[in-house]
Amino acid sequence: MSVLDNRPALKAAVDQVAEVAGYLWQKGWAERNGGNITINITDQVDDALRAMPAIDEPRAIGKTLPHIKGCWFYCKGTGKRMRDLSHDPMANGSIIRILPDCAHYEIVADAVVAPTSELPSHLAVHDYLLAKGSPYRASLHTHPIELVALTHNKKWMEKDVATRMLWSMIPETKAFCPRGLGMVPYMLPSSVELADATIKALDEDYDVVMWEKHGVFAVDTDIMSAFDQVDVLNKSALIYIAARNMGFEPDGMTDAQMKELSSVFGLPK
Ligand code: 13P
Ligand code: ZN
């Protein structure tokens, strides 16, 4: 028995997480337990699920987050593998609800799987999104090889230098990641400082931010769309590397071509 049984909307949302987890593994972005996913499932929770008791003691979030009070999330489990989650999301993740004090959560289903170590960043981001009335309900952290490699050079960590290069490799990247790639300097994984810096970067108008020498953090309406944003950015990084491997620095699209694209597609920047 699973809480997903007879709840098609909830099952569809969790199944989409499982599908994306499979892609992350196939792409080589999810070594061992690398990466994590959370989705806000509050709208898919019915009264019967709401009435279910917790299956474990309350745990501290590490932050007080007033806007996610009473919200529900599906979270990848800490130490769990994306490749395992893709086959069995409820054994490699859990459903949690945020308690009224906004500082603790409890696991409701299906098994006592402790949520990802990056929960402070994920929940702080969901809190930020709800506070600003955003329709975004999904957040993804993953380790895309080529994008992480870029952050090992100070030049690419400067504001919007990588964005400009990545956008100019192929028109789709600006069209489908229209806010570009924010940069967060190295901070300890799972720390509250990293959560705060991530929100600051998202607030500067990015949907995708890099954690220097670690990975990427992306938000969107659903997890497939968050994955797509990272996928188009990493594709551009691969094109850049392919050109460099052919022995030349790629020209990139011109400023005039990028401007035309922005006006035709109605892009913000
Ligand atoms: P978890 O297994 O705790 O989700 O951690 C993976 C990770 O990528 C940490 O940054
Ligand atoms: Zn990580």
In angstroms, the CA 26 to CA 95 distance is 25
Q: Are strands 208-211 and 181-184 parallel, antiparallel or unpaired?
A: parallel
CB of 189 closer than 6 angstroms to any ligand 1 atom: yes
Residues 181, 182, 183, 189: what is their CA dihedral angle, to the nearest 10 degrees? Answer: -100
Instruction: Calculate how far, in angstroms, residue 158's C-alpha sits from the geometric centre of ligand 1.
Output: 26
Asked if CATH classification 3.40.225.10 holds for the domain at 1-135, the reply, yes or no, is: yes
| 118 counts as catalytic | yes
Give residue 269's pLDDT: 73
Fold identical between 1-135 and 144-269?
A: yes
**pTM above threshold 0.85:** yes
Answer yes or no: are the C-beta atoms of 185 and 157 closer than 8 Å.
Answer: yes
Strands of the chain, DSSP E = 36-40, 59-60, 72-76, 93-98, 104-109, 138-142, 181-184, 208-211, 215-220
237-265: burial string, b at 16+ Cβ within 10 Å, e else: bbbbeeeeeeeeeeebbeeeebeebbeee
* 76-122 residue pLDDT tens: 999 999 999 999 999 999 999 999 999 999 999 999 999 999 999 99
The domain covering 144-269 belongs, at the CATH homologous superfamily level, to Class II aldolase/adducin N-terminal domain (3.40.225.10)
pLDDT (tens digit per residue) in 141-200 = 999 999 999 999 999 999 999 999 999 999 999 999 999 999 999 999 999 999 999 999
Q: Cβ contacts of residue 238 below 8 Å, gap of 6+?
A: 146
Residue 205: band (very low, low, confident or very high) from pLDDT cuts 50, 70, 90: confident
Give 178 Cα–ligand 2 centroid separation in angstroms: 24
List of residues 6+ apart from 165 with CB closer than 8 A: 156, 236, 240, 252
Query: Do the Cβ atoms of 206 and 184 come closer than 8 Å?
Result: no
Contacts of 21 by beta carbon, 8 Å cutoff, 6+ apart: 30, 37, 76, 82, 83, 85, 86, 89
Pocket test for ligand 1, best of 59, 75, 76 (most atoms within 8 A of CB): 76
* Ligand 1 atom with minimal separation from the 142 CA: 8
Surface-to-core class of residue 211, CB atoms within 10 Å of its CB (0-12 exposed, 13-18 middle, 19+ buried): buried
Ligand 1 centroid–CA 128 distance in Å is 21
Domain boundaries, the chain: 1-135, 144-269
